Amino acid sequence: MKRKVLSLALMTTALVTSAYAQEATLTIESWRNDDLALWQEKIIPAFEAEHPGIKVIFSPSAPAEYNAVLNSKLEAGSAGDLITCRPFDASLALYESGHLTDLSDLEAMGNFSDVAKSAWQTDDASASFCVPMASVIHGFIYNKDAFNELGLEVPTTEAEFFVALDKIKEDGTYIPMAMGTNDQWEAATMGYNNIGPNYWKGEEGRQALIKGEQKLTDPQWVAPYATLAKWADYLGDGYEAQTYPDSQNLFTLGRAAIYPAGSWEIAGFNTQADFEMGAFKPPVQNAGDTCYISDHTDIGIGLNAASENQEAARTFLSWVASPEFASIFGNAVPGFFPLSNTPVELEDPLAKEIVGWRDECESTIRSTYQILSRGTPNLENETWGASVAAIKGTETPEALGQQLQDGLASWYAPHQ
């Protein structure tokens, strides 16, 4: 009798384990801890409903630590099955050291344009190793109530932009612009690379810089620093020690009128701010000039070569490449604009306004991301420091340009 019970118990265990064996659990590594709820509540359930055998866990780490954490996990073999890809070299290095799988044969990759795929390809474009998920667009988000109250027009040229800032400052109710230099990256990302494309004419300048035809000491690369230097007067007291979350809070609490932004802020701002928000694109120098926006391929997703669930992971990636995911993702995370060829109808008004700039302006990506940040000194990190120095006025724009150019020329052959 006892033996029968035991064997029965054993049999059931065997059955249960074999049933589990067909199921795969996929873990996603990501730096988007802000999106945790959206993944858990919208994206993952939608996928699991279609693919009952596969379970997905979204496991993000803090943005600033992501690269370091991910690299250590990959070396140790404890990383998740799916890797959220930073654009360009960080992911390229992972592919070259064999941590990411070549996904060129994934049928769904056909849903993306070459530009969208370029951020996650080898230099010769022979292998694609991440499925493009989304891009982010830079511009300025403003407090509509504040603008109405002060009777301000939305600026389109740089002169109008500074007139508006002067008026806000004169009135004194609002801090004209919410940005700090403590964390450094805002100055470069939301400052330099936000307004810069209008000066260096987007892709034209960026490509010329990569080829070595333009230098960082050329006026179109130095002038944005001169403009940033003028921002200091409008940033509010103690901006030197103001952190990124401080700036976000200043704006969403309604204490600042303009926020130099990336579109990724939209989701957070929608829940935090209780006033109406609008957005304007980086102002051009003269009315009627072609406008350029930074439409930066920012986030992709790849397959860990060491994953034990290759098949399930490919299924998930094909789904990520589908228009269905694009529409869920684009609406669940407003401000991360899907890159898929099928246009996605966005519901969020602010996101819709910003994505509309794609039709009016020329798109480019951040100037320092492709190839130019491969060596030491790292051009992106140097640009952070330079942008902060420009705002604080500790160096002249020309000196900053020279410093960056010297650093780049020290390792990058086309500039030597």
Does 396 bind other proteins (CB under 8 A)? Our answer is no
Q: What angle (nearest 5°) sits at the alpha carbon of residue 335, between those of residues 330 and 336? A: 55
Q: Is the dihedral of CA 31, 33, 34, 39 positive or negative?
A: positive
**Segments of 61-179 assigned E as strands:** 82-85, 130-143, 175-177
Three-class secondary structure of residue 340 per DSSP: strand
Distance between CA atoms of residues 69 and 49, nearest Å: 31
Minimum CB distance to other proteins, residue 138 (Å): 17
Site stretch for other proteins (CB under 8 A), options 137-145, 151-159, 309-317, 369-377: 369-377
**Residue 122 in contact with other proteins, rule: CB under 8 A:** no
Q: Site for other proteins (CB under 8 A): which residue of 30, 135, 181, 387?
A: 181
Q: Find the shortest distance in angstroms from Cβ 88 to other proteins.
A: 7
Write the interaction track for other proteins spanning residues 299-338; mark x where CB under 8 A is met and - where it is not: ----------------------------------------
Binding residue (CB under 8 A) for other proteins from 243, 272, 285, 342: 243
Return the residue of 237, 274, 345, 359 that touches other proteins, per CB under 8 A. Answer: 237
Cβ–Cβ under 8 Å, residues 146 and 207: no
Phi, psi of 239, deg, nearest 5: -60, -20
> Which residues 6+ apart lie within 8 Å of 121 measured at CB?
127, 128, 129
Residues 58-97, mask of contacts with other proteins (x by CB under 8 A): ------x--xx--xx-------------x-xxx--x--xx
- Give the shortest CB-405-to-other proteins separation in angstroms: 14
Q: How far is the CB of 38 from other proteins (least distance, A)?
A: 24
- Which residues have a Cβ under 8 Å from the Cβ of 182 and sit 6 or more positions away? 240, 241, 242, 243, 244, 246
CA distance 42 to 313: 19
Residue of 29, 158, 295, 380 that binds other proteins (CB under 8 A): 380
Distance of CA 137 to the CA centre of its chain: 8
Residue 102 touches other proteins, criterion: CB under 8 A:
no
The reply on whether position 410 binds other proteins by CB under 8 A is yes
Give residue 87's identity as a one-letter amino acid code.
P
Q: Which two tokens stand for residue 385?
A: 């420091």
Residues that bind other proteins (CB under 8 A): 64, 67-68, 71-72, 86, 88-90, 93, 96-98, 180-185, 236-243, 246, 250, 368-369, 373, 376-378, 380-381, 384-385, 388-389, 392, 394, 407, 410
